[in-house]
Structure 1
Amino acid sequence: MATFVITKRLNDLYKYELTSRKGKTIFTSNSFELRFECEEQIGYLQESLERVVFLKFKSGRGKFFFRLVLDDKELAISRKFSTQLMLEKSINEILKYTPVAEILDFSADIDVFNDLDTI
């Protein structure tokens, strides 16, 4: 099952990624000023998945990727794939798991490993 992961970029803007069940990033969203904007767009994407368009490209170095477009607005760009088959498998994974994907929020500046300093 895929998971949406919300994080902060180095410039303090928010983004979300859809990660596969193996933990690999499938696509990364554009930047957002506020965290709740990520959640809103994820919800909109989940509700409107049947209208999503995948624009497929091949880079100058022979890698395959896609841009995820909804209502004439680019929402995200995929990672680079070595084969067109891997790109198609990722699109199928998006179509299958996005409606039921959970959201994990790692955008807070909480040190989850703070207790290691006392060991």
Structure 2
Amino acid sequence: MGKFIISKRTNDDYQFNLKAVNGQVILTSQGYNSKAACENGIESVKTNSKEDSKFERKTSSNGKPFFNLKAGNGQIIGTSEMYESESGRENGIESVKNNAPDASVEDETNK
């Protein structure tokens, strides 16, 4: 089972990363100004990752495939790494679908 890691950015915003079982980061959030907003973002990922239509498949300016996960209101709630191939991106999407719904949450801001 994957896990969400809550951390703080250098500008004091909160963010989360979703890590797969192997420890690889498969989704990164935007910055949030409060921990509560960050936790709401995690809940949104858990809910929206179940629907393939919420994954926006994109290609970066340097030609690398990546994806965004969007909430019901169309807001981006997480972004993937850059992949070398479209099949890699699809594997990343499947990993989020498999890991996010039941992932635990680890808060590293209290350490």
| Secondary structure at 1:50 match in 2 | coil
Larger radius of gyration: 1
| Secondary structure at 2:50 match in 1 | helix
Aligned-residue CA RMSD (Å):
1.6
2:64 alignment partner in structure 1: 63
The aligned runs of 1:1-40 (5 Å cut-off) are 1-40=1-40
2:59 equivalent to 1:92: no
Return the alpha-carbon distance in structure 1 between the equivalents of residues 47 and 86 of structure 2: 27
1:53 alignment partner in structure 2: 54
Normalising by the residue count of structure 2, what TM-score does the alignment of the two structures yield? 0.87
- Of the structure 1 ranges 34-43 and 9-18, higher mean CA displacement relative to structure 2 is found in 34-43
Return the alpha-carbon distance in structure 1 between the equivalents of residues 49 and 89 of structure 2: 17
Return the alpha-carbon distance in structure 2 between the equivalents of residues 48 and 55 of structure 1: 12
Runs of 4+ with deviation above 6 angstroms: none
Unaligned runs of 5+ in 1: 111-119
C-alpha distance after superposition, 1:24-78 (max 9, x if no partner):
1111111111112211221233234334611111123221111111111111111
Q: Which has the higher helix share?
A: 1
1:94, distance to aligned residue in structure 2 (A): 1.1
* Cα 1:19/1:65, change in 2 over 3 Å: same
Return the alpha-carbon distance in structure 2 between the equivalents of residues 22 and 45 of structure 1: 19
- Of the structure 1 ranges 52-61 and 20-29, higher mean CA displacement relative to structure 2 is found in 52-61
